[in-house]
Amino acid sequence: MLLTKGTGDNVEALKSEVQALTGRCDMLEKTVNNLQSICAMQQNVAKDLQSTCDTLQGALELLRQNISASQFRQGTLDSNYGGEQFEVI
């Protein structure tokens, strides 16, 4: 609360209020810095998860290709899709 009179007591009250606000600003700056650090860590986690997902998708594609190749060799590969016959390449 800001005081309007210029007496000595008011000056001391204003100094006290400025110190309190400075302390509060310092705490808010620390909070912002902490939130920025957390955000950066979460972005790294997201990148790691994306990398893992990409790796697993690649592994699944290799498995799909191996299964298709095995079925082709065994003569059990169905090359029909949506009622249309496709050539195996």
Q: Sorting pLDDT into bands at 50, 70 and 90, what band is 2?
A: low
Domains of the chain, by residue range, sit at 8-85
Residue-level pLDDT at 18: 96
What is the C-alpha to C-alpha distance for residues 81 and 22, in angstroms, rounded to an integer? 70
The 10s digit of each residue's pLDDT in 4-55 is 555 677 888 899 999 999 999 999 999 999 999 999 999 999 999 999 999 9
What is the C-alpha to C-alpha distance for residues 52 and 58, in angstroms, rounded to an integer? 10
Least confident of 3-7, 12-16, 62-66, 83-87: 3-7
- Torsion region of 54: left, alpha or beta (phi above 0 gives left; psi -120 to 50 gives alpha): alpha
